[in-house]
Amino acid sequence: MKVLSLFLLVLLCGQQSVLSQGQTEIWDRFEVSLKGPETGNPFSDVSLTAEFSNGTEKLTVNGFYDGEGTYKVRFMPQKTGVWKYRTISNSKSLNGKTGTFTCIGPKQNNHGPVQVADTYHFKYTDGKRYYPFGTTLYAWTHQPQSLEELTLATLKNNAFNKVRMCVFPKYYSGVENEPKFYPYEKKSQSAAANGRVKIVWDFSKFNPAFFQHLEKRIDDLKDLGIEADVIIFHPYDKGRWGFDSLGMENDLKYIKYLTARLSSFRNVWWSLANEFDYIKTKPREAWDIYTRAVIAGDPYKHLCSIHNGSVYYDNWKPEFTHVSIQNGSTVEDFGRAVLLRDVFFKPMVYDEVCYEGDLPQRWGHLSGEEMTAAFWQGIVAGTYVTHGETYKNAGDTIFWAKGGKLIGSSPARISFLRKILEEGPGPLQLADPWKDHKTATADSSYYLVYFGKEMQAEWTFSLPGKSGPSEKRNFQVEVIDTWDMTIKKLPEIFEMAKVENYRIFDKRRKSIRLPMKPYLALRITEVSNK
């Protein structure tokens, strides 16, 4: 992050001319910091935007009050070259400030924001493929520093590249601690009957320290190559703080403030809510208004979705770039994940499919095998799946809740799957989606066949005829043990016959032997003709 303090430069230079404020990488963050009014309510009294331009490229971004008389405008350049800006404010001390900076090309590990690609999939802006392998850390940024750092260390050693995380603190079984920071200023504080602290909030004043901390954690994720799927509202408050019951006016102020602060973070995705339908204080109609407010506050159009409890939202609405679904049954068996995907013509992320763990609740005790199989079911159907871990051992923090350590058996297998996918030529889809729910393809030279729990001693080589390889093309088969994480290449070469009854067999109808084990897969790839 590149932070330049304009007011300091102004002080040092003693002049008001246009300042060159150095260099910022494309898709990185340029920040203007200005001194302005501290009296009254700077959050509501002072308006601040800035126009950024680079040739014909022009964007207007919202600024925000960051406390202690400091106002900021953040900008994520999407084009290299010289950018100019000019501020607009109802405060004389903030209005008409100008400057320039040079946007340079990306350095290593900066691929830009993730976008939708090929209808059902994702890419970074620079064209590099992005396959989401997310995990769930709802309240990880509301924990003691040591725990937050342990979480980051855990993430560093695992393959998850997306984290679902709440802005507001969470109050739920397994997460009952007070956070260090609160998003609003306190009006008063007293001891409640239940022994907890009862706080009265001033919802007209944000607490910049809360957001600065959140931002630091989002930047920490960025440094690990992880996207932050930022959950704007959630139902896990239950009257404790009242952050789910601000009323629409305050909700919209919060969205404006949050998007002004975070839109310039390239690894941010917007998740309007977790389990939107369980937030009983917000009627269904309100979500369109909130969604449009997010879009209005984000000039870069980050990925945006809404996540359901029991009832789906209208995921077809154009504001949603992809679909974020809770429903474990979709990836529990063959032939389901593809059904919802094909409705929307958008990427489908099954963001909550129950969790690996040992909680008594049925959503909290998938085995590692089940969690791993859910990922494979999603991937072969051309969809994506999000992990969560809910083991509750003595003294444990439950990864899904507070973060900490991962102790489950699925993360290593999910990492193994991610590697297989990234080694392939591109994103997958079912080759014959209404009839064969096991065979995914990237193109007619690459197939991944997943058997799930089904065991068999012998498998006759066979691919779907639809858009399949032409006669005489040769293929090899690797047997993947998705649980033991082994890949064994078979010596035989299979030569394609003509399509026969919707399938393509080897010309001698060769078959392969398989170990009598569950959770096997086959990687079938073309080899050049002899």
Residues that bind its own copies (CB under 8 A): 311-312, 314-316, 327-330, 332-336, 339-340, 342-343, 362, 433-435, 437, 501-502
H/E stretch holding 50 reads: strand 48-54
What is the radius of gyration, based on Cα positions, of the chain? 26
Do residues 28 and 6 make contact, with C-beta atoms less than 8 angstroms apart? Answer: no
Query: Looking at beta carbons only, is 149 or 314 nearer to its own copies?
Result: 314
Minimum distance of its own copies from residue 383's CB (angstroms): 12
What 3-state class would DSSP assign to 79? coil
Nearest to 27 by CA among 74, 61, 77, 75: 77
Dist. CA 139–CA 402, nearest whole Å: 5
Q: Are 132 and 383 contacting, i.e. CB atoms less than 8 angstroms apart?
A: no
Sign of the Cα torsion 506, 488, 130, 432 reads: positive
Nearer to its own copies, 187 or 284 (CB): 284
How, if at all, do strands 121-124 and 129-130 pair?
antiparallel
Shortest Cβ distance from residue 80 to its own copies (Å)?
A: 37
Residue 276 CB, shortest distance to its own copies, in Å, is 15
Q: Of the two residues 418 and 437, which places its CB atom closer to its own copies in the complex? A: 437
Q: Which two tokens stand for residue 210?
A: 């809360």
Is the separation of the CB atoms in 136 and 400 below 8 Å? yes
The three-point CA angle 401-257-259 to 5° equals: 70
248 neighbors 286 (Cβ within 8 angstroms)? yes
For the CB of residue 130, give the shortest distance to its own copies in the complex, in Å: 25
Q: Phi/psi at 442 (nearest 5 deg)?
A: -100, -40
Residue 30, SS3 per DSSP: strand
* Nearer to its own copies (CB atom), residue 7 or residue 363: 363
Q: Pick between residue 315 and residue 482 the one whose CB is nearest to its own copies.
A: 315
What CA–CA distance (Å, rounded) separates 270 from 302? 7
Nearest distance from residue 229's CB to its own copies, in Å?
A: 22
Question: What distance in Å separates the CA atoms of residue 80 and residue 18, rounded to the nearest whole number?
Answer: 19
Nearest alpha carbon to residue 448 among 419, 422, 480: 480
Do residues 439 and 432 make contact, with C-beta atoms less than 8 angstroms apart? Answer: yes
How many Å apart are CA 67 and CA 521, to the nearest integer?
Answer: 55
The three-state secondary structure class of 514 is coil
- Residues near 465 by beta carbon (within 8 Å), at least 6 away in sequence: 432, 499, 500, 502, 503, 504
| Nearest to its own copies of 113, 364 (CB atom) | 364
CB of 280 to its own copies, least distance (A): 18
Compare residues 172 and 312 and give the one whose CB is closer to its own copies.
312
Q: Between residues 205 and 365, which has the closer beta carbon with respect to its own copies?
A: 365
Q: Do 134 and 353 form a contact (C-beta atoms < 8 A)?
A: no
Give kind and range of the element (H or E) at residue 215.
helix 208-223
Give the residue with the Cβ less far from its own copies, 6 or 340: 340
- CB closer to its own copies out of 298 and 351: 351
Q: Rounded to 5 degrees, what are φ and ψ at 494?
A: -110, 130
Distance (Å) of CA 228 to CA 135, 217, 318: 10, 9, 22
Residue 132 CB, nearest approach to its own copies (Å): 21
Q: Three-state SS for 295?
A: helix
Instruction: Please report how close the Cβ of residue 336 comes to its own copies at its closest, in angstroms.
Output: 6
Q: Which is nearer to its own copies, 226 or 340 (CB)?
A: 340
> Residue 295 or 430: which CB sits closer to its own copies?
430
Q: Which of 35, 54, 34, 33 is nearest to 101 (CA)?
A: 54
Least separation in angstroms between CB 432 and its own copies: 10
Cβ-based nearer residue to its own copies, 153 or 343: 343
Least Å from the CB of residue 136 to its own copies: 18
Least Cβ distance, residue 517 to its own copies (angstroms): 23
Distance CA 116, CA 64 (A): 29
We find the least distance from the C-beta atom of residue 393 to its own copies, in angstroms, to be: 22
Q: Least CB distance from residue 339 to its own copies, whole Å?
A: 5
What tokens were used for 32? 């203007």
